[in-house]
Amino acid sequence: MKKLLTYGLLLIAIIGFGSYIYNKVQDQNLSIEQTEPIQETVSEIDSTTSQPSEKVSEEKEISFQSSREESSQSNSTKEEKPDPYGHLKVESVLIKDQADKSMTLSENFGRPMVVNVWATWCPPCKKEMPYFQTAWEDYQEDIDFYMINATNSQPGETKEAVNEFLEDLNLTLPVFYDVNFSAMMSLQATFLPSTIFINEEGEVVYHHIGLISEKQLLEQIEELL
């Protein structure tokens, strides 16, 4: 009887110890299972947060490169912009003054210029001459005026004809004479009158073909100043 009781107690002790060991193992497994998803979540957060940062960086780089390309294209377009008056060879114009002294326009670069190519046989030239006379009287201190006669443009277009023309209209503005059609060809004055406005750097800023009104003349003179 005592032996049975002893065996019973021993069996209970063994079962209890086994249950204790089992519970310990289960607790450890549960702890391990709980930590793994947390680590995965942290990894996922790091992964998701780093990707947008890289994307933003790439977008900034693309935007910066695009801005540089646009700026380069803009500068290139600006540099390649053609000169609308580049066909006028102002520096090649050869003229004579009333004393038959030869000169080129380029010798007098440094002040704004108003250059007019005209002829005595040209009705529009005669009509606009008083405008130039008044403008010369008002602006001669600041602007040089070159009234270039298209000498020999017709058989009767001579220095004598010019002097008579100036006397008839009571004109005192400075008149010059084309030499070997230099002014007409260099300024492409195929139509008369023709007026060219040149800044102090010797650059043509405006070219007016045909009759110019007094208002247009004064507006362009003010632009030069």
The tokens for 94 are 């050869």
Q: Which domain holds residue 173?
A: 90-224
Could you report the per-residue pLDDT of 75-122, keeping only the tens digit for each? 544 556 677 777 788 888 999 999 999 999 888 899 999 999 999 999
Could you report the per-residue pLDDT of 32-54, keeping only the tens digit for each? 344 334 344 334 434 444 444 45
pLDDT for the residue 72: 53
Could you report the per-residue pLDDT of 171-224, keeping only the tens digit for each? 999 999 999 999 999 998 889 999 999 999 999 999 999 999 999 999 999 999
What CATH number should be reported for the domain holding residue 104?
A: 3.40.30.10
Predicted TM-score (pTM) above 0.75: no
Same domain, 151 and 211: yes
Q: What are the distances in angstroms from CA 91 to CA 106, 202, 224?
A: 5, 8, 18
Round to whole Å and give the CA distance between 74 and 118.
41
Could you report the per-residue pLDDT of 127-183, keeping only the tens digit for each? 999 999 999 999 999 999 999 999 999 999 999 999 999 999 999 999 999 999 999
Domain final residue pick, 81, 107, 130: 81
